[in-house]
Amino acid sequence: MTTSEKNLNGKVALVTGGSRGIGAATAVRLAREGADVALTYVNGKEAADDVVRAVEALGRRAVALRADSADAGEAAGAVGAAVDALGGLDVLVNNAGIGVLGPLEDLSLADVDRVLAVNVRGVFLTSRSAAGRMGAGGRIITIGSCMAKRVPGPGGTLYALSKSALVGLTKGLARELGPRGITANLVHPGPIDTDMNPADGPYAGGQAALTALGRFGTAGEVASTVAYLAGATYVTGAEFAVDGGHAA
Ligand code: NDP
């Protein structure tokens, strides 16, 4: 099992939600491994442009695409736009996701629809579109959550529902695309210091205490596992906890 330097030379990656947090760190990490990178965003154009500049500073090509994963057409269309801009697609990282937490009775129908549209339907549609463009050696890597496996307190029902759906999606994709030499894997981050879940936020202490390592992780620590999976040739249908021992 090795991931040699520059193992993604000549490859093209698409990272959804690549303007900030785990997605931004992943885009830069894949570029460091040699990939050209397309990334999607919704509101963070300036942040997305910063990531494009960071990738270009590494000598790779990059493009930022506005594509809302909640919109079925845009979720699928991001793949074609990335292929048009960069000439192909080898690695898809389904990272875009939203967390709407709260008691059952406080969740509106719009909350339910939006979380499922971004975290589940968008991932399915982008993956299907990518599968249609990838050849042998294609990689689909999805960002799930430690809450797909274990919900450590109240208020996470909708989010956990959305992230656990990605387990079935990943296994199904692995079986369906394996004969074509395309792999599909799932990464479950624990508490990671990002805008979504800042390490100095009101619930941070409790989250850190639930991990074996007693701390939040960094976006770069998740990105390094994504980079490994982008290069791995005999790993598919698998789940990887990058959670500091949250699941231990
Ligand atoms: P952030 O909120 O820090 O960043 C989210 C990124 O996704 C931004 O680039 C944002 O773009 C983009 N995005 C949000 N909604 C959409 C959408 N509808 N369509 C396209 N892009 C979108 O999140 P994190 O980096 O923390 O999370 C990334 C992934 O990791 C998510 O799937 C999340 O569920 C998962 N995760 C995070 C954990 C954590 O503790 N941080 C723990 C476990 C899982 P823009 O800049 O335009 O808003």
Minimal CA–CA distance to 216: which of 239, 202, 197?
Answer: 197
Give yes or no for residue 20 CB within 6 A of ligand 1: yes
Whether 181 maps to a domain, the answer reads: yes
CATH number where 110 lies: 3.40.50.720
- Output the pLDDT for position 6: 74
CA 179 to ligand 1 centroid distance, Å: 31
* Ligand 1 pocket test, candidate residues 51, 92, 194, most atoms within 8 A of CB: 194
Per-residue pLDDT of 47-86, as tens digits, reads 999 999 999 999 999 999 999 999 999 999 999 999 999 9
Whether 217 maps to a domain, the answer reads: yes
pTM higher than 0.85, yes or no?
yes
Whether 75 maps to a domain, the answer reads: yes
Q: Which atom of ligand 1 is nearest to the CA of 42?
A: 47
Instruction: Work out the angle at residue 237's Cα, subtended by the Cα atoms of residues 125 and 18, and round it to the nearest 5 degrees.
Output: 50
Instruction: Work out the angle at residue 222's Cα, subtended by the Cα atoms of residues 247 and 90, and round it to the nearest 5 degrees.
Output: 125
- Output the pLDDT for position 96: 98
Distance CA 202, CA 56 (A): 36
Per-residue pLDDT of 28-47, as tens digits, reads 999 999 999 999 999 999 99
**Residue 1 pLDDT grade (very low, low, confident, very high; cuts 50, 70, 90):** very low
Give yes or no for residue 192 CB within 6 A of ligand 1: yes
In percent, the amount of the chain with pLDDT more than 90 equals 97
Mean pLDDT of 173-177: 98
Per-residue pLDDT of 120-145, as tens digits, reads 999 999 999 999 999 999 999 999 99
Whether 247 maps to a domain, the answer reads: no
Q: Which atom of ligand 1 is nearest to the CA of 21?
A: 25
- Output the pLDDT for position 84: 98
Q: Which atom of ligand 1 is nearest to the CA of 159?
A: 34
Active site residue 234: no
Per-residue pLDDT of 185-238, as tens digits, reads 999 999 999 999 999 999 999 999 999 999 999 999 999 999 999 999 999 999
pLDDT of 4 above 50: no
Whether 163 maps to a domain, the answer reads: yes
Q: How many domains does the chain have?
A: 1
pLDDT of 5 above 90: no
One DSSP character per residue, 109-155 reads: HHHHHHHHIIIIIHHHHHHHHHHHH--TT-EEEEE--GGGT---STT
Give yes or no for residue 39 CB within 6 A of ligand 1: no
Whether 119 maps to a domain, the answer reads: yes
Whether 10 maps to a domain, the answer reads: yes
- Output the pLDDT for position 173: 98
Mean pLDDT of 174-188: 98
Mean pLDDT of 95-114: 97
The boundaries of the domain holding residue 169 are 3-242
CA 132 to ligand 1 centroid distance, Å: 25
Give yes or no for residue 26 CB within 6 A of ligand 1: no
Give yes or no for residue 94 CB within 6 A of ligand 1: no
- Output the pLDDT for position 107: 97
Can you give 1-51 as a three-state secondary structure string?
Answer: CCCCCCCCCCCEEEECCCCCHHHHHHHHHHHHCCCEEEEEECCCHHHHHHH
Whether 248 maps to a domain, the answer reads: no
